[in-house]
Amino acid sequence: MPAERLLPTDDSQDLIDLTREICRQDLAPQVDDMERAGTFPEKTFRLLGQAGLLSLPYPEEFGGGAQPYEVYLQVVEEIASVWMSVAVGASVHALTCYPVATFGTDEQRQRLLPAMLGGDQLGAYCLSEPMSGSDVGSMTTRATRSDDGGTYALKGTKAWISNAGHADFYTTFARTSDDGGRGLSCFIVPAQTEGISFGAVERTMGLRCDPIRQVTFEDARVDAGQRVGEEGQGMAIALSALDSGRLGIAAAATGLAQAALDQAAAYAKERRQFGRAIGEFQGLAFLLADMEAAVTSSRASYLYAARMRDAGRPFSKQAAVAKLVATDAAMKVTTDAVQVLGGAGYTQDFPLERYMREAKVTQIFEGTNQIQRLVISRQLLG
Amino acid sequence: MNIVVCVKYVPDAQADRTFSVDNTTDRAGVDGLLSELDEYAVEEALKIAEANDGEVTILTIGPDRAADALKKALQMGAHRAVHVNDAAIHGSDAIATSLVLAKAIQKLDPQPDLVLTGMASTDGTMGVVPTMLAERLGLPAVTYASELTVADGKVSVRRDGDLASQTIEATLPALVSVTDQINEPRYPSFKGIMAAKKKPVDTWTLADLGVDAELVGLTAAWTTVESFSARPPRQKGQIVTDEGDGGSKLAVFLGEHKFL
């Protein structure tokens, strides 16, 4: 059952209708096989890009859809309710465009954004490193400026990078001085840059169509014009981008939970035991009611944060709340959905076990849920 | 290159389709959409127009809600649309439909170089309107095209039959109906959706076309649906338990049904 949505305009309703049509006709028929094989859905990203669904929250003049986050995120949620890996890839792509769109110069926006938002390109976000996860300020990847100042040479290894090996550009954070968190800078590194190599695809628990790899820069040389923001501004850019990125993850987690709930509710109406549908037993009916409450509150949380963002208000705390609430809810709802289907839910004949595996990572990436609590509590007590 | 695509707003085949009290297709109680078979004609028109700097006009006949079919085609990229909407048309048969379409096309300025249609509607599934329309317009008709090229004032079409594929050429202007093998219709893009809101849609009545209302509609129809009954639900399948002899039981079953 499609989620009930209050949308601000007729345009946004048309956008949701388009998303549902593409999801139903193109994504749904292939998701099971593709996830089983772990194939990167390149054609699907191209299709979504051509339809304009990968550039929604960015300005029209650079090829974006000029949509508020309130609408963009509901598109992400709709995609996630059919194919979580693709929704995460789409959210990551939006994240990779954020630094140029928000911190880039006019010249950089005009030069870089039309291609990034044109629908034919995908980005990857290179922040984490093998030894630097939540502690972003400890990263060791270094960008050394040439004597004439015209280029930077990047050296170091990034870890857990979505879209790695398939992306057209890498939004990369690297150290330009030894000044801890104040020594980081942001670069847009084109995929064809010499000196980039990729590790093996990580053998992950879920999101098999979202290949995660290490990205190694070995004296990868980029023009100084590819640096976004000032030297030393990297940490602020990364955290600002993640505030918005987290909303994408919250929306995706909500869609995943909605899909699990829909299938569990449908099964509870069909499956009969002791002479009646199992949904007629209060033990299961209340479990489903709690799942509905969790999904609805997840959606409300991310939409509230989105509306704060759209209104130009600070939303960092609300984004952390939304990410925490929605991803914890997704873990619980998908786990309970497996329970509703019983033995069937535990088999690969139904997608519920996959949903449960996919939910787990949402509590980990784009800031672990422990980091979200840190963000929230610091704002409360700071 | 001016191309007109005739499209139909049909009940969604995935919904519970039924008939109205007058035995015509129920178009009010069921969600409708641009006939999927017509999407191929729209896509083909857009491709030709893109390659030849052409313009695509979408034409439909139908009640108010048929505007949704036009909207979808405009979102895909068509340039303008014409909606013939007149209560008197309700219940028209293929003959009257082709008359109204012909009059509407004759009123267009400029006149089309190419008229495209789907191979049939997904509700009536008669598939005769394209040839009737070509006859009324005095155009060469080529039906069931699974490949189409336009060059040097001619259209060349591949027409796949059971035994052979024919290549047929016709001089423009011409009418061509296309099959679902000819292309892969595009999805609208979000930009296309936004742009479609500003595209011109003309609404014409029978009076605008100079068509006598007595020539169309249910009373003028040469054929009418006398009665209908729902198809019986499919029989429950037969479950064969494999007790080591599943293979031979399967062979017996297939033999009984003359598959072997």
Give the chain B residue nearest A19 (alpha carbons): B190
Residue B108 has pLDDT above 90, yes or no: yes
Q: Name the pTM for this structure.
A: 0.87
- Mean of pLDDT values over A41-53: 95
Mapped to the 3 state alphabet, what secondary structure does B83-139 carry? EECCHHHCCCCHHHHHHHHHHHHHHCCCCCCEEEEECCCCCCCCCCHHHHHHHHHCC
Gap between the Cα atoms of A359 and A379, Å rounded: 27
Can you name the residues that pair with B154 across neighbouring β-strands?
B151, B171
Query: Residue B25: its pLDDT value, please?
Result: 82
Give the chain B residue nearest A67 (alpha carbons): B190
CB–CB contact A53 B190 (8 Å): yes
Residue B20 has pLDDT above 90, yes or no: no
Interface of A with B in 56-75 (CB under 8 A): 56, 65
Closest to A30 (Cα-Cα) out of A15, A48, A43:
A43
B191 touches chain A (CB under 8 A): yes
CB–CB contact B193 A15 (8 Å): yes
Query: Residue A105: its pLDDT value, please?
Result: 97
| B161 inside domain | yes
- Mean of pLDDT values over A315-335: 98
| B225 inside domain | no
Backbone angles phi, psi at A285, to 5 degrees: -60, -40
Query: Residue B29: its pLDDT value, please?
Result: 76
Closest to B137 (Cα-Cα) out of B107, B102, B96:
B102
Across A148-172, b (16+ Cβ under 10 Å) vs e yields eeebbbbbbbbbbbbbbbbbbbbbb
Gap between the Cα atoms of A200 and B95, Å rounded: 65
For A351-361, the pLDDT digits (tens) are 999 999 999 99
| B78 inside domain | yes
- Would you call the peptide bond into B110 cis, given omega within 30 degrees of 0 as the criterion? yes
A75–chain B nearest CA distance, Å = 12
Gap between the Cα atoms of A116 and A94, Å rounded: 9
Q: How sure is the predictor about B51, in pLDDT bands with cuts at 50, 70 and 90?
A: very high
- Mean of pLDDT values over B201-223: 94
Q: How sure is the predictor about B207, in pLDDT bands with cuts at 50, 70 and 90?
A: very high
Residue the block writes with tokens 């083909």? B44
- Mean of pLDDT values over B36-57: 96
| Helix extents (H) in chain A | 10-22, 28-37, 42-50, 69-80, 84-103, 106-117, 234-270, 282-310, 316-341, 343-346, 352-362, 369-381
CB–CB contact B187 A21 (8 Å): yes
CB–CB contact A15 B188 (8 Å): no
**Candidates A11, A21, A51; nearest CB to B189:** A51
Which of B76, B187, B197 is the best substitution to test chain A (most A C-beta atoms within 10 A)? B187
| B239 inside domain | no
Residue A87 has pLDDT above 70, yes or no: yes
CATH number at residue B24: 3.40.50.620
Closest to B95 (Cα-Cα) out of B227, B215, B219, B226:
B215
Name the average pLDDT for chain B. Answer: 93
CB–CB contact B190 A50 (8 Å): no
- Mean of pLDDT values over A132-141: 93
Find out whether A52 and A71 touch, Cβ atoms under 8 Å: no
B189 touches chain A (CB under 8 A): yes
Residue A70 has pLDDT above 80, yes or no: yes
Query: Residue A6: its pLDDT value, please?
Result: 92
CA dihedral A61, A163, A243, A248 (to 10 degrees): 80
Which one of A35, A78, A129, A366 is the catalytic residue? A366
Residue B257 has pLDDT above 80, yes or no: yes
Q: Which of A2-16, A61-75, A273-287, B45-59 has the least mean pLDDT?
A: A2-16
Per DSSP, the three-state class of A190 is strand
- Mean of pLDDT values over A216-234: 97
| B241 inside domain | no
Query: Residue B258: its pLDDT value, please?
Result: 86
CB–CB contact B187 A53 (8 Å): no
Q: How sure is the predictor about B12, in pLDDT bands with cuts at 50, 70 and 90?
A: confident
CA–CA distances in Å: residue A318 to residues A92, A314, A325, A365: 19, 9, 10, 17
Give the whole-number percent of chain A exceeding pLDDT 70: 100
| B74 inside domain | yes
A51–chain B nearest CA distance, Å = 4
Residue B256 has pLDDT above 70, yes or no: yes
Task: Give ipTM to 2 decimals.
Answer: 0.78
Q: Is the dihedral of CA B55, B72, B66, B47 positive or negative?
A: positive
Query: Residue B21: its pLDDT value, please?
Result: 81
Both tokens of B14, joined, read 């995935």
Find out whether A159 and A128 touch, Cβ atoms under 8 Å: yes
- Mean of pLDDT values over A144-155: 97
- Mean of pLDDT values over B106-115: 96
Find the domain containing B30 and state its range: 2-220
Higher per-residue pLDDT: B28 or A185: A185
Residue B182 has pLDDT above 70, yes or no: yes
**Candidates B187, B194, B197; nearest CB to A51:** B187
Give the whole-number percent of chain B exceeding pLDDT 90: 72
Residue B234 has pLDDT above 90, yes or no: no
Q: How many beta-carbon pairs under 8 angstroms link A with B?
A: 29
CB–CB contact B191 A65 (8 Å): yes
Give the chain A residue nearest B71 (alpha carbons): A14
- Mean of pLDDT values over A22-50: 96
CB–CB contact B193 A56 (8 Å): no
B244–chain A nearest CA distance, Å = 25
Gap between the Cα atoms of A228 and A108, Å rounded: 8
Residue B28 has pLDDT above 80, yes or no: no
CB–CB contact B191 A52 (8 Å): yes
B194 touches chain A (CB under 8 A): yes
| B31 inside domain | yes
Can you name the residues that pair with B176 across neighbouring β-strands?
B116, B142
Residue A153 has pLDDT above 80, yes or no: yes
**Candidates A14, A47, A50; nearest CB to B193:** A14
User: Which range scores top for mean pLDDT: A253-262, B184-193, B213-222?
Assistant: A253-262
Backbone angles phi, psi at A4, to 5 degrees: -75, 130
Find out whether A231 and A152 touch, Cβ atoms under 8 Å: no
- Mean of pLDDT values over B174-194: 95
Q: How sure is the predictor about A184, in pLDDT bands with cuts at 50, 70 and 90?
A: very high
Which of A12, A16, A17, A18 is the best substitution to test chain B (most B C-beta atoms within 10 A)? A18
For B68-90, the pLDDT digits (tens) are 999 999 999 999 999 999 999 99
- Mean of pLDDT values over A263-276: 97
CB–CB contact B189 A52 (8 Å): yes
Q: How sure is the predictor about A31, in pLDDT bands with cuts at 50, 70 and 90?
A: very high
- Mean of pLDDT values over B175-204: 95
Can you name the residues that pair with A189 across neighbouring β-strands?
A170
Closest to A171 (Cα-Cα) out of A85, A94, A90, A69:
A94
| B248 inside domain | no
Residue B123 has pLDDT above 90, yes or no: no
Domains of chain A and CATH, by start = 10-116 (1.10.540.10), 123-235 (2.40.110.10), 239-381 (1.20.140.10)
Q: What is the β-pairing status of strands A184-190 and A227-228?
A: antiparallel
Find out whether B179 and B119 touch, Cβ atoms under 8 Å: yes
B25–chain A nearest CA distance, Å = 25
Which of A12, A14, A67, A74 is the best substitution to test chain B (most B C-beta atoms within 10 A)? A14
Closest to A184 (Cα-Cα) out of A222, A116, A127:
A127
Find out whether A355 and A256 touch, Cβ atoms under 8 Å: yes
Q: What size, in residues, is chain B?
A: 260
Residue A27 has pLDDT above 70, yes or no: yes
B193 touches chain A (CB under 8 A): yes
Q: How sure is the predictor about A1, in pLDDT bands with cuts at 50, 70 and 90?
A: low
Q: Is A218 a catalytic residue?
A: no
Mapped to the 3 state alphabet, what secondary structure does B194-254 carry? HHHCCCCEEEECHHHHCCCHHHCCCCCCCCCCCCCCCCCCCCCCCCCCCCCCHHHHHHHHH
> What's the structural domain count of chain B?
1
CB–CB contact A18 B190 (8 Å): yes
Residue A15 has pLDDT above 90, yes or no: yes
